[in-house]
Each structure stands twice: as structure tokens, then as C-alpha cells.
Amino acid sequence: MGFSEYFLVVWDIVQYARTGLHQGPGGMPVAGRGSGASSLVAYLLGITNVCPLAFGIPFERFLHERREDFPDLDVDFCWRIRDDVIAYASRRWGADHVAMVCTHNTFQPASAMRETAKAMGLSDEQITRLAEEGFDHEKTESIVRLSRQILHLPHNLSVHPGGIVITPRPIDHHVPIQPAPKGVRITHYDKDGVEAAGLVKLDLLGNRNLSTVRQACELLARRGKAVDVEALPPADPATLATLRAGETVGCNQLESPAMRHLLKMLAPSHTRDVMKALALIRPGAASIGMKEVFVRRHRGLERPPPGHPAVDAILADTYGVMLYEDDVMLVAAAMVGGDGAGLIQGDRFRRAVQKCRDDRQRLELSREFLTRCRANGVDADFAKSLWVQMAKFNAYSFCRAHAASYAVLAYAGAYLKTHYPLEFWTAALNNNQSMYHPRVYVEQAKRAGIRFLLPDANRSGEEFQVEGGAVRVGLNFVAGLGPAGIETILTARRKCEFAGLTDFLRRAGLEREQARSLVLCGAFDFTGRLRPALMMELDLFFGTRPQPACRGRALLPAEPTIPPVAEDYSPARKYADERRIMGISVRQHIMALYRPGLNGAVDADSRRVPGRVGRRVRIAGVLEAARTAPTRTGGTIMFLTMEDEYGLFEVTVLPGAAASRRAVPHAFNRYGPYIVAGAVENQYGSVTFSAQNVSLWKSPAPAAAPNS
């Protein structure tokens, strides 16, 4: 089919990432994903990490002889090396043969209004005022009318997050291009236009979770421990225990509340169960209530009803539930003949389902499918039940290959978290871009027995680093330093360590507020001086306090004489300073400070909730994540992830609890703490909390822990 060159180009890029960048043994610098993981050739070339034979992945989802468009080989790289990989491609095949694919940003209602108003001579202040007042005023009628004419037309170009094209002839023979501010040039065609021009798009994407796994392996290698995450046992008992407990915060694709809830219900016994969970939680599989059906069947609480023998065989591994896009293809193929041509027809049908966006198209597809089923002697009611599942795959869903690729990476993260928490959490904090604030990661790590050390002007690097069995906080967590300030400190320190604060101030040349933040978060505790004394030394250096006259010597000696300070800042003051400056606390959890004042207001904490199933309890915690979802009756349900000093707990706020929400400004936009009253429920082994009342704790916050 002429794809050998395509595969070899991708192989060349992957080989460079694996060996040319000196990645070393044991990590996972590259992970192919998407339907490309259906290819055994891609696996044998090292492009993907998933053997399609081991995971039962059909090749036709990726490629077949009647496929009209080009297949994708999507490859994830550690985000730290992605730019190097793209630069390598430009060098390898020539800058005239490589370009990044663009995306077309179109005018949306707000931008269309703003740009139209600007073209008609309105100032930015006038436009902002009109936007606040509404564009329905009589004098803006022409703006509204004209803006509708440009709605959804191209506004500007931006760069695709990972798409590049490589051409045999100079690229401007194929598509229009433009120079980039830096790096590789940009096409004027988007991904669809590039494919229409006959070019093959490669997706080279940066993945922070891949970097977490890679960096954890590097840290382990430094202490002589080699871990090959591409050859892990697929059913490691300790890792499975982590997954079954839903203790997967920090693990790729597994840390959302819904996924942690699902893992508890599924109780995985193999990597393949992680793969199923990843597919089951997507809208395509979950939107018709099949999630609970799948869980019941997986736990042996019910058996799949018998149907068509061919369909029963296809869906045997998923208990009669369609989880993957491939299932739509295979089931459709079985209904139209089941031979090689049937698979091609099945893939065509899958594509049609996924592109279906209106009722007319959906009706036509359903008629075609049911007609073909009837022609093949399939029971009408059974065919309709299949269509109900198939039709939902026009929502976001996973193919089997993509789910397997993500499952392998997710399992690797869970394995490292379970067996090597020190290295895992260090890497996770350095590569964090999740739904949770870094303080959640820090608290999770502390509960795993990890000790954190405050920043140190002589020891801290830019990022978190392992130091003597603990984790040293990096300078990038000190507010106000910025990349330039950090580089200044590290450059000055390469010559020799800082003797003290004044030596640091002279050599590093930071601004007063930057130095102040370092002092207050403990970066100069190594001097043995109390922080109040260090603040006086800082003030003397910057001349903010009156100086006594000094005869015969410089106003500032090598080390200023600081009057003795008898009293240090209180632990509460230190806590507040550190948390304000770093956004995290290496000391106790903030709820431990609130706990003494909560007597009588609560009767449980997160440790005791599992033992209170079926009972009403009152519990307190701070808010770490929240999302809303509409109900079928037009109400709003809220899902809150809260935390106390003992762990995370999930709270569901039903529409009936809305009255209590009105007392909370802007619907839970504050950190808290909150008092939650409600019932504890157990759903297939996963304990949840259904709130009848939620209120902001109105007691004055302790001095150590201001609301934020």
C-alpha cells in the first residue's frame, strides 16, 4: 500500500528520541498511541509500546485497502524533548521539506463583535463598555448585523499542538507556508487541507505524564535501581492494590474523581482492566448507562443476555457492552457478512456513526443498519439494542489501540507510585499539569511517608529534587523569582556556595521582594539565624532602615552587625508565610490547624467515612476541585473533591441542596474550609458522600491559615 516510507520516517524520529538524545535505559521517552497501536509493524519498530496481539486489537481500525484517507501514527514524547525532536526532523530532512501544521481560529460571537466594532472606529474602552452593557443597544445594531457575517470565518492562524508534515520535494511545492517566529515554518493549510493536498500529517506531541515516568526512572537510576517500565508484570499485586483502592492521583488518565470511583468498583486484576476503565468512562460508552451494566457484569452480579452468536463472540471480553470504536466496526461487519469485505464495510459504518451530527443522518444510518440486520436474519429487537449502543459513539470515545496505549502508561505510573513513591512524587511535581493544585500532590506524598524540605539557597535546584531520602522544594515554587531570578541564583552559586544572606544579596543581585520571599520561606535557615534577624539583615542591606553613623569604616561591613533577636516567628506565622509564598506547605495540612475549632461542628473525618455507610455525618474539608453537570430535569448537580488532613473525599451536591449553596459566594469558588452534612453511600465498593447541606465554615481562620 506504499506506507513503508511513512513507517520508516516515524521510526527514524522515534529512534532519535530513544537513543540520539541519550535517554538511557529503563524509561519510556516515546509512546505511540491512537489507532497506530493496532499495527504489529509499528510495535516491532518500537514506535508503539503495545503488542496488538496481546491486547486483541484489530488492524483494520488503523488501515485497510479501501481506506480513502491516510492513517495516523501519533507519537507522544516527553514534553521536555519534543522541541528537540521536531528540530531533528527539520535537520534530518531539510528545513525546506518540513513544516508545522496550522489551525484556523475562527471568529466566535465575542471576537466577531469586538473586531467589527474596532473596524468601525470604536476604542477599546468603548468596546469593553458595550460588551458589559450588551450589544443589543440601538446604536450597535449595525455592529451586530455585520459581525454575524464574519461569524465562524477564519480569524487567525495558530500552530497545531503536534502536527508536522515532511515532503519529498520542497514543501512550498505542495502547500503555502509562512515563516515562524522561531523554529520550523508553518503551513497555511490546516490538518484537513494538508491531507486534501495529498500530504501525510505526523502528530509529534508532548506528554507530561510520559515525562513523569521518565524522570522517575532517571532518579531511580541515580541510586543504582534500573526499572524497565516497558516490561512490567501486567498483574503486579501491589500495583493492583493501589488501583483497586483508587489511590491513583498523579497517574496518567487515572486521577479524576470519576476514574478513581470507577477503579474502586472494577477492582482491576490486570492491565487490560485499566484499558477497559479508560474506554468505559468516555462519553461514547458511558452516556447510555452502560457503565453500571458493565460493572455489575464484571463483578459477576449479572450475566450478559444471549444475542447473536457472532456479536456474543466479539463482545465476550466486555460482557456484551460496546466499549471501543472497534466494537462498532466489528459488530457492524458481523451484521453485513463477517468476511474481509465485511470488516471494510464495518469500518465505513463506524466512520459514518462518528461523523453523524444531526437527527436526519442518524435516522438514515439506523435504517441502513436495521435493514442489513434484517437481511442477515438478525432479530429485530436485538438489532435495535445494538443500534442504541452504536449511536452513542458519535460522542468522544477510544479505539482499543488508544485505550491500550494509555493503559500501559497509566499502569507504569501506578507501578512507580506504589513501589518508588519518593522518585515518583518528585517527578510528578516537576511535570504536573493535572486537574489538581500541586498542594494536593504534596499532601498525597506526605501521607505516603515522604518528607519535604524547605527551599535552600545553597541546595535547591530549579525543580523539586531528591535529597537524602526526602524531597527538596525547588526554587520555581518561590513566588516572584521567575526563570531569570532562578538562573541568576544558580549561576552565582556555581562559583561557590553562599556564605550567608548578605553574600547572597551581593552576588545574586535580586530585588528586595524576591529576597524577602526567599527568607520567609526558609531558604536561609541554613545560616542558623532566626528569620526576624534575617529580615533585619535584608532591610539593612537595602537601606530601608535608618543606619547609625560609622566613623572610619564602610556603612555596610562584610556581614552587618545585627542586634540579637530573642524571639522567632511563631509556627503559625511561618506556616502562613510559607504557604503564601510557595502555595504548598511542607508542614501539617491546613485542616489540622482548623481542627481544634471544629469541635461540635463535625462528627467525622475522611478516615471514618467508610465505616459510616448508610448514616448521616458532618465532615469538614477544603475544596480542591469542582465540576457541574446538568440533570435531565434542568437542575445542576455538583461534584466536589475535598480534602482534610487524612485524605481526599468526594462529595455529590444534588439539586435539592441548592439552597445551602446560595450562602456560598459564587458557588464554591473559595478554598474553604466547608462543613458538609449528608449521607455516606457505598456503590460496588466505592464510598461516596451525598450532601444535603454545604456551608462555608464561618469561624475566624487561624492566623496560620488565611483563606485563599
Residues 460 and 505 in one domain: yes
Q: Alpha-carbon distance 651 to 641, whole Å?
A: 6
Residue 414 resides in a domain: no
Return the percentage of the chain with pLDDT > 90, whole number.
54
Looking at 370, 403, 436, which one is the last position of a domain?
403
In this model, does residue 315 exceed pLDDT 80? yes
Residues 450 and 498 in one domain: yes
Q: Write the burial class of residue 657 (CB in 10 Å: 0-12 exposed, 13-18 middle, 19+ buried).
A: buried
Q: Which of 4-13, 350-359, 366-375, 539-548 has the lowest mean pLDDT?
A: 539-548
Number of structural domains the chain divides into: 4
In this model, does residue 118 exceed pLDDT 60? yes
Residues 137 and 158 in one domain: yes
Q: Are the CB atoms for 420 and 407 separated by under 8 Å? A: no
Residues 617 and 639 in one domain: yes
Q: Which of 86-90, 193-197, 433-437 has the lowest mean pLDDT?
A: 433-437
- Residue that has been written with the C-alpha cell 484499558 in this structure: 275
Residues 396 and 261 in one domain: yes
Q: Pairing state of beta strands 74-78 and 201-207?
A: parallel
Q: Are the CB atoms for 591 and 403 separated by under 8 Å? A: no
User: Phi-psi region for residue 300, left (φ > 0), alpha (ψ -120 to 50) or beta?
Assistant: left
Q: State the residue range of the domain holding 379.
A: 230-403
- Burial string for 601-634 (b: 16+ CB within 10 Å, else e) reads bbebbbeebeebeeeebebbbbbbbbeeeeeeee
The single-letter DSSP state of residue 612 is G
Q: Alpha-carbon distance 75 to 32, whole Å?
A: 4
Sign of CA dihedral 15, 213, 203, 254: positive
Residue 358 resides in a domain: yes
Q: Which of 158-172, 288-302, 626-640 has the lowest mean pLDDT?
A: 626-640
Instruction: With residue 202 as reference, give the H or E element that holds it.
Output: strand 201-207
In this model, does residue 15 exceed pLDDT 60? yes
Residue 224 resides in a domain: no
Residue 429 resides in a domain: no
Residue 221 resides in a domain: no
Fill in the amino acid letter for 71.
P
- Enter the pTM of the model: 0.88
Residues 331 and 347 in one domain: yes
User: Phi-psi region for residue 674, left (φ > 0), alpha (ψ -120 to 50) or beta?
Assistant: beta
Residues 174 and 248 in one domain: no
Residue 339 pLDDT grade (very low, low, confident, very high; cuts 50, 70, 90): low
Residue 39 resides in a domain: yes
- Give me the CATH number covering residue 652: 2.40.50.140
pLDDT tens sequence across 265-287? 999 999 999 999 999 998 877 77
Residues 397 and 278 in one domain: yes
Residue 27 resides in a domain: yes
What would the mean pLDDT of 232-255 be, rounded to a whole number?
A: 96
pLDDT tens sequence across 132-172? 666 555 557 788 888 889 888 888 888 877 889 999 999 99
Residues 322 and 372 in one domain: yes
Residues 282 and 196 in one domain: no
How many residues in the chain? 708
| pLDDT for position 346 | 85
Residues 597 and 577 in one domain: no
